[in-house]
Amino acid sequence: MKQLVVKEIESGQRLDKFLGKYLKEAPKSFLYKMLRKKNITLNGKKATGNEKLQPNDEIKLFLSDDTLEKFCGEEKSSSRTELDIVYENNHVLFVNKPVGMLSQKAEKEDVSLVEYITGYLLEEKFLTKEDLRTFRPGVCNRLDRNTSGIVAAGKTVQGLQEMSQWFKERNLHKYYLTLVKGKVERPAHVKGYLWKDEKKNKVAVFQEKREGSLPIETKYEPLGISKNGDTLLKVELLTGRSHQIRSHLAGLGHPVIGDWKYGSKEKNENFRKKYGIEFQLLHAWKLSFPKTEGILKELSLKTITADVPEKFQKALKGEGLLEFTSEKNKGDVKKHE
């Protein structure tokens, strides 16, 4: 018999989800059969699997050691790298993702920000390897590999659920910095329809709805225009579609500099020679939070900001635009609280 006591970080999820993670090699039919036969109990009673777990709930598995070993599987080793953590509390953390790092795995063998966050939490002893059998940290938003900036992650089930809901319901204000080709002299709120070619991993933006397209909305305002006639934009992402900012601005005649998929080859070559830029100059800069209570109340009406990458700063400095990135918010939260 194996007894498990639910920890704070695991609470909030359904019992069947919990069991599916702990006995990850077991078919669902086996789990429900064990629940029906009371070979798996919750707080000493028969359970159906849809119960929401609370801290200190007791789960007993009346299974042989051989069965447990067979269905638990092995835990993979974690990955470690230095993370630029913008803000962290007991339920969530926000990382300034560097260019070149995946937010989540694309292939089974990939190592992404999720694995690095898991390694960090293990090293900080916030999690144990045993905890990873029933809960894994996850990210609530994704950035393209070559886009830098803020990625939100859940350290607990409740933190992951609540923050993910904020993103889903668009309760957050998401601001990006980007350097684009050409002069943009006035703010705008633009709409359109985005269609994605899955095979080519490329999107197109249309003014009229087409089959398979999704509505998009983007706001932007110019912060400064360089001596060479390019513009630093502050962009608010109102809908979060794949490649939305890059494709939308390119369609308006102002592609993101350094973007080889949607941008200007001539302009990109110029910035590569001058500043060593080999990635799109697009940075997830700020997140502003709604008024809230509950486990994330300390983020209520606050803003977090992620520093612009060094090479991006170098390009902005060379173009006379770096000063515009020092915009401050009175509601900014500290790096660690």
Q: Is the dihedral of CA 235, 237, 240, 244 positive or negative?
A: negative
Q: 164 with 203, same domain?
A: no
Q: 159 with 180, same domain?
A: no
In this prediction, residue 105 carries a pLDDT of: 85
Q: Is 197 helix (H, G, I), strand (E, B) or coil?
A: strand
Q: 90 with 66, same domain?
A: no
Residue 334 lies in a domain: no
Question: At 29, phi and psi to the nearest 5?
Answer: -60, -35
Residue 80 lies in a domain: no
Q: 187 with 315, same domain?
A: yes
Record the tokens describing residue 62, joined without a space: 């009346």
Residue 322 lies in a domain: yes
In this prediction, residue 77 carries a pLDDT of: 58
Domain boundary among 48, 72, 96: 72
Q: 181 with 299, same domain?
A: yes
In this prediction, residue 328 carries a pLDDT of: 54
Q: 108 with 52, same domain?
A: no
Q: 187 with 292, same domain?
A: yes
Number of domains forming the structure of the chain:
3
Burial 180-189 (b: 16+ CB within 10 A, else e): bbeebeeeee
Residue 48 lies in a domain: yes
In this prediction, residue 76 carries a pLDDT of: 62
The parent domain of residue 124 ranges over 85-168
Q: 133 with 184, same domain?
A: no
In this prediction, residue 1 carries a pLDDT of: 85
Residue 336 lies in a domain: no
Residue 155 lies in a domain: yes
Residues of the chain with pLDDT below 70 are 75-78, 327-337
Query: How many alpha carbons lie under 13 Å from residue 224 in its C-beta half-sphere?
Result: 15
Q: Which residues contact 272 (CB under 8 A, 6 or more apart)?
A: 258, 278
pTM for the structure as a whole = 0.84
Q: 114 with 56, same domain?
A: no
Residue 154 lies in a domain: yes
Q: 243 with 127, same domain?
A: no
In this prediction, residue 129 carries a pLDDT of: 87
- Nearest C-alpha neighbor of 176 from the set 153, 194, 151, 193: 151
Residue 270 lies in a domain: yes
Domain boundary among 141, 168, 195: 168
Q: 115 with 215, same domain?
A: no
